[in-house]
Amino acid sequence: MNQKVVLHLAQDHDKNYINKRELQESERKYSRIFELSMDGLILWNDDYRIVDINSMASKMLGMTKDKLMGHAILDLFESHRENQQEIIRHIEQVIHCGDFVSSIKIETKDGIEKYFDVSTKRGMVDGINFTIIKDVTEAAKMQEQLRNSDRLNVIGELAAGIAHEIRNPMTALKGFIQLLEGSIKSEHAMYYEVITSELARIDSIINEFLILSKPKVIRFQEINVNQIMKETLDLLSAQAVLYNVQFTANYESHLPYLYCEPNQLKKVFINIIKNAIEGMPEGGEITITLKKDEKNQIIISIQDEGIGMPKDKLKKLGEPFYTTKERGTGLGLMVSFKIIDEHKGNIKVESEEGKGTTFHLTLPLGLDRLIV
């Protein structure tokens, strides 16, 4: 072998070595970009099985990479039929169109709703499809809050007008009924009681309208929330006896004082517990638990043994004029949600048909530092 051939072979070897090293470096670079992407990235084949997935996508799906690799995408959601249907619709559109972008709402195992923007390109590489997932839950929640805020403003304006129009004739009716009280014969006493109780009910509804129509000056103070709940249960004890309902209260000792508006909180407790009592016409037990969690929040749980409600009704609680009661207005819960929101807290409701409903009220401690 002459010198020129040896030199040529050596040069080819060097080029191959450099190309191989550059290829390896390029693969490491793209692998690092894939793994550290702020979006969820999934590679899946035409059998709908995951061939690679990055850390962010694993986090979004709430499972480790080892458990996800090789699994069929639909198998991940077999316990959540609604989630599975969302994914099926997306995949069908990908197969039909090649590329597809959609927004998907998924409920986690903890019952938390998450919103994702999902875009997929079919056949990114031979037999491999590429999906990008963006978590837009915060943005979706903010839009929902804005919609609710707009809706509340409109309802507030309507409520102010309705309350004003009703209150004027109501004042006259109440005045004349009181004047007639002394002249009503005993056989008509029942009619008088019905009229006065119904007028009181109308007055109560007007007051709830007024809470929605104009914000009150809220005077926050540090107070023992256990005491507020005890006073509430004392107020409702007579009604509980009529419905054959027992209260079981579990108060955590040495619970920190809560910065709140006590009368507003009492109104919330009354609304929820009163609903629980009325939701158990055959009687039963209402369990109230107050405790502090590890996140420096006070959790108030109110659990009944009523008939419960399905998920579609559960999601509508707190909406204007939505009620599950025959003579209800839906305003009580709407006002309650509004009050807890003003306290920077939240209400979560769990319910199972035939087993009852539980309201979880979460209120932050140290609220005095949040309110300016």
**Angle formed by the axes of helices 225-242 and 262-278, to 10°?**
30
Point out the domain boundary residue: 214, 246, 274. 214
User: Does one domain contain both 160 and 86?
Assistant: no
Whether 9 maps to a domain, the answer reads no
Domain boundary among 180, 214, 248: 214
CA dist 63 and 296 (Å) reads 28
CA atoms of 15 and 7, how far apart (whole Å) = 12
pLDDT recorded at residue 18 = 57
Same domain, yes or no: 352 and 221:
yes
Whether residue 326 lies inside any domain: the answer is yes
Higher-confidence position of 52 and 184:
52
Same domain assignment for residues 120 and 229: no
143 and 190 part of one domain: yes
Q: Which of 214, 232, 257 is the last residue of a domain?
A: 214
Domain assignment of residue 15, yes or no? no
Q: Name the residue range of residue 336's domain.
A: 216-372
29, 50 contact by CB (below 8 A): no
**Do residue 192 and residue 228 come from a single domain?**
no
pLDDT digits (tens, 9 = 90+) for 25-54: 767 777 787 787 888 888 888 888 888 888
Verify that 231 and 193 share a domain, yes or no. Answer: no
| pLDDT confidence bin for 5, thresholds 50/70/90 | very low
- Rounded to whole angstroms, the Cα distance separating 250 from 8 reads 87
Same-domain check for residues 155 and 246: no
**Does residue 310 form part of some domain?**
yes
Q: What is the pTM of this model?
A: 0.50
Alpha carbon 216 to chain centroid distance? 26
Give me the pLDDT at residue 150, please.
Answer: 57
Supply the mean pLDDT for the chain. Answer: 76
Q: Is there a single domain that holds both residue 238 and residue 370?
A: yes
As given in the structure block, the two tokens for residue 2 are 């002459």
Q: What is the CATH number of the domain that holds 328?
A: 3.30.565.10
In a domain, 12, yes or no: no
User: Does residue 32 lie within any of the structural domains?
Assistant: no
Residue 290 pLDDT > 90: yes
340 in the same domain as 242: yes
**What CATH number is attached to the domain comprising 122?**
3.30.450.20
CA-CA distances (angstroms) from residue 349 to 99, 112, 113, 301? 39, 12, 13, 10
Q: What was the pLDDT predicted at 160?
A: 65
Say if 369 falls within a structural domain: yes
The owner of tokens 């809050």 is 145
Q: 318: helix, coil or strand?
A: coil
What's the rounded Cα separation, in Å, for the pair 159 and 214?
9
| Tens digits of residue pLDDT in 100-154 | 777 777 776 666 777 888 888 887 777 888 888 888 887 777 766 656 655 566 6
More confident residue, 97 or 220: 220
- 236 and 361 housed in the same domain: yes
Classify residue 353: in a domain, yes or no: yes
* Residue 295: pLDDT over 80: yes
**Are 94 and 149 contained in the same domain?**
no
For residue range 243-264, what is the model confidence (pLDDT) as tens digits? 899 999 999 888 889 888 888 8
Q: What is the number of domains present in the chain?
A: 3
Tell me: do 187 and 220 sit in the same domain.
Answer: no
Per-residue pLDDT at 78: 60
